[in-house]
Structure 1
Amino acid sequence: MGVEIRHLRTFLVAVEERSISRAAERLRLAQPAVSRTLAQLEREVGAELLVRSAQGVVTTTAGARFRVKAAAAVLSFDDAVHSPMARLRPLRVGHHWAALGQHTTRLLRTWRERFPDVPLELRRLDDAFGALATGEVDIVVSRGQRPGPAYHHELLWHERRMAALPAHHQLADRDELRITELAEETVLVNTAYGTTNPELWPADTGPHATITVANTDDWQTNIAAGLGIGVTPESTSYMYSHTEITYIPLTDVAPVATYLAWAPNAQHPALADFRHTVNHIL
């Protein structure tokens, strides 16, 4: 029979949804049909690609490698058969949080004015680089760690860091703070590509304790409830304002670098236009 594009699409959706039933719903197929398609694919490639676990459907080691190739194949197929008279598929921009911060609204307006026939999609993802590797997004906005050698990248700017305090905190009325003033605090750390770690504090000065959270929503909820404080790039204060959280500049810590990163084989024809537009509005 051979591997067909429907096999690859079904596999990628199952991986993304982490569930056969949700994949079937998204593909508008019966669940047994999805299971049969995945079984056919595994027979054709001669390897087990997916396993069911307590966390749902997850890839095997072979499946993780196959996912990268399958995503690239589907992307190439879609680009090859796309009608030159039709609108381009959306340019998909992944980000871990906050997108371009205070520049996001201007970016969207400028893009619509300059390229009305090319939709722009912002996608907040906990694993934006994983999505970049599999072709689910075309380019990533990343803060903190410089992208690795597997990607092309460019530095956009440096953002100052802010303390995120519960609105009722005793320091919430200050115009600025030093991180050493937060040494006795419990700090909320976002493990999904956050930029805060204990090394921000001078040796032996704190923080008192840390609580890890998995995403920005949980980070905000815990701070607003008074369970801890946060340290975050300034863009967070623009994109995630909260009536029960006060953001205050920190004066004694290094800023956070913000990068654009894309794969060397990136194929979307509007990718260069996006990079030029971002640099234009900064």
Structure 2
Amino acid sequence: MNVELRHLRAIAAIGDEGTITGAAASLHVSQPALSRTLEQLEDRLGTRLVNRTTRQLSLTAAGHTLYERAHRILNELDDALSEVVAGRQPLRIGFTWAALGDHTVPLLQAWRAQHPELPVQLQRRSDPDTALRRGEIDAAIVRTSDAVESEVLSAVLFTERRLAAVSENSPLAERSVVRLADLADQLVALCASAGASVDLWSSGRQPRTFEAANVDEWLTTIALEEAVGVTAEATEHSHPHPGIRYIPLADASPVTVRLIWPRKRSHPSIPAFLLHVRHMANAAEPWLRKSPPVLSRGDLSDAWPHERNAPLP
């Protein structure tokens, strides 16, 4: 098919920018030149990648597939070239909400002391799943259900208690513990990153909810006493707020904290990082609710053939 890197950079930029004008500017080429590159790519593949009208541009299904893969290929190339020049690249771990809470710094400090040759970088991402697919990060810390994509491996790190988040002026703020029923008659602010959903409440007792766009909106709405929230205990450390009180939820199921990474192209430091977190969990106080390390959608023999007989981290 004779597809070149310039073709992949073109579809990646068009998908990112949403316009030929913006994509051309980001690539430092003229609009006619970028349009010709796109037409050439479509001709070589024999399929339309972009729907173009005088007012709108959108990727076709085939275009979106190539757009995602192009990002991954280009990032892999950049990583490979950087590794040739500068040696092994850092393990980039994305997170969207609270990383590992107040244990993030001690864990990373211990890692640096024990593995100075294997740097780890934490990167806050609004959409770590997409960043993972594109190869922009190597793994992600998530607080989600058991379901993961077929191309992703997942290991349980530990579990956390759930907390209620209420305004300091709320009558609930004086309590040492609350129950889900105490929140059922109030408006509950949800956020995709907070590790909570309406499914926590039994059918017939589910509260009214609204979806906050981000953590700042979530915090402000709760502090203003317009809503209450439910979140993982790491939030109390990562997002303290003078107008909010975090209170343990007595009857809410715990939040599972997982590390996810691609089934293919896995960073060679992931096994060691998993072992490190598990060691910290076993040595720590109850802050890390000990959970059996579970790999889903595959096992170590799939991810690292040379570790086929190694114990699970």
TM-score range for the pair, normalised by the shorter chain length: 0.7 to 0.9
Q: How does 1:217-236 map to 2 (within 5 A)?
A: 217-236=216-235
Q: How does 1:1-282 map to 2 (within 5 A)?
A: 2-18=2-18, 23=23, 27=27, 34=34, 36-51=36-51, 59-84=59-84, 86-148=86-148, 149-190=150-191, 192-207=192-207, 209-282=208-281
| 1:100-141 CA distance string (max 9 Å, x none) | 222221233234334445543323334322322232221121
Q: Is the 8 A contact 2:190 2:212 kept in 1?
A: yes
CA, structure 1 residues 88+22, in 2 after alignment: closer, same or farther (shift >3 Å)? Answer: farther
Please identify the structure whose Cα radius of gyration is greater: 2
| 1:62-86 CA distance string (max 9 Å, x none) | 1222134323432443354445461
For normalisation by structure 1, the TM-score amounts to 0.83
**Cα distance in 2 between the residues matched to 1:243 and 1:31:** 50
* 1:172 aligned counterpart, secondary structure: helix
* 1:171 aligned counterpart, secondary structure: helix
| 1:47-70 CA distance string (max 9 Å, x none) | 3334579xx965321122213432
Q: Is the 8 A contact 2:83 2:89 kept in 1?
A: no
Shift of residue 249, structure 1, vs aligned partner:
0.6
Shift of residue 260, structure 1, vs aligned partner:
1.0
1:231 aligned partner, one-letter code:
V
CA, structure 1 residues 31+153, in 2 after alignment: closer, same or farther (shift >3 Å)? Answer: same
**Cα distance in 1 between the residues matched to 2:165 and 2:20:** 40
Shift of residue 247, structure 1, vs aligned partner:
0.8
CA, structure 1 residues 20+236, in 2 after alignment: closer, same or farther (shift >3 Å)? Answer: farther
* 2:240 aligned counterpart, secondary structure: coil
* 2:154 aligned counterpart, secondary structure: strand
1:176 aligned partner, one-letter code:
V
CA, structure 1 residues 83+95, in 2 after alignment: closer, same or farther (shift >3 Å)? Answer: closer
* 1:277 aligned counterpart, secondary structure: helix
List runs of 5+ in structure 2 lacking aligned partners: 282-313
Alignment: residue pair count: 278
| 1:9-45 CA distance string (max 9 Å, x none) | 3433443455656555655556665555444433433
List runs of 5+ in structure 1 lacking aligned partners: none
CA, structure 1 residues 2+150, in 2 after alignment: closer, same or farther (shift >3 Å)? Answer: closer
**Larger mean Cα displacement after TM superposition, 17-26 or 262-271:** 17-26
Identity %: 38
RMSD: 2.9
Runs of 4+ aligned residues of structure 1 deviating over 6 Å after TM superposition are none
2:280 aligned partner, one-letter code:
I
CA, structure 1 residues 75+225, in 2 after alignment: closer, same or farther (shift >3 Å)? Answer: same
Q: Is the 8 A contact 1:15 1:57 kept in 2?
A: no
CA, structure 1 residues 83+228, in 2 after alignment: closer, same or farther (shift >3 Å)? Answer: closer
